[in-house]
Amino acid sequence: MNHLLIFRIPWKDLNMLLMKIITKYVYELLEKDCNLKKISIPEGYGVIVLNPNENYIEVEKPKIHVPSSSDSSDEPAEKRERKDKVSKETKKRRDFYEKYRNPQREKEMMQLYIRENGSPEEHAVYVWDHFIAQSAAENVFFVAHSYGGLAFVELMIQREADVKSKVTAVALTDSVHNVWHQEAGKTIREWMRENCCNWVSSSEPLDTSVESMLPDCPRVSAGTDRHELTSWKSFPSIFKFFTEASEAKTSSLKPALTRRSHRIKHEEL
């Protein structure tokens, strides 16, 4: 006899499940095919940060006794009994809804932020201090998308000399950094103009120059007006940008990273 089992999974839970499966598969490829090493951070903490915007783990929330309304002796017994009944029914409905919405979560949870990695900015500095700064690599390249650009500028503010000595070039994709609000100094802005480029969301062809009111790095079109696609769409130009910067550094020449140098014809790609 054939049997058909039908499982009803809330859309939110299905998305989370797919994200975990895909993430696990991608990390396995990075380790096996790219020979990369997966390290838990902070050291000895046993936590792997997959998304710097969610640098926390969930732990069971300690139960705190909240005196019920029946503890008050100022109210008539009938009124206290009626309020307790309403309170219990409300809690019962809320608990049922939470379990229906997320069957896997039967305990009330709280967020515990990861030590030294509680924000994207802290995470960037931590990774720099514990991994990049200690590596033997002579040519370090950054690709920073969206808020990652802001985190990189903050890293430069805190580790300016170290970043300048080790980083060859930085590709920003639709970065939300702001050198004025972040109070980046003149020397940082000058370095960014020479060594950074920001591929921004735009309906213009790839690498078309895009004007900016900020005195920092050149801005060019990523070839798409969709924020989430700016990195993928601009990869060909980004790798060409990195290659030119590396060659210029090798030949002891200063890379001419100007708006004009990034205005590449779309047909060539």
Which residues carry out catalysis? 146
Specify whether the backbone of 51 is left (phi greater than 0), alpha (psi in -120 to 50) or beta.
beta
Q: How far apart are CA 266 and CA 221, in angstroms?
A: 11
Beta strands across the sheet bearing 140-145: 140-145, 167-173, 196-200, 219-221
Pairing state of beta strands 56-60 and 109-113? Answer: antiparallel
Tokens representing 253 are 């020449």
φ, ψ for residue 140 (rounded to 5)?
-110, 130
Tokens 């802005």 locate to 189
C-alpha Rg value of the chain to the nearest Å: 26
- As a dihedral over the C-alpha atoms of residue 114, residue 119, residue 124, residue 127, rounded to 10 degrees, the angle is 0
Number of CB atoms found within 10 A of residue 39's CB: 10
268 conformational bin, left if phi > 0, alpha if psi -120 to 50, beta if neither: alpha
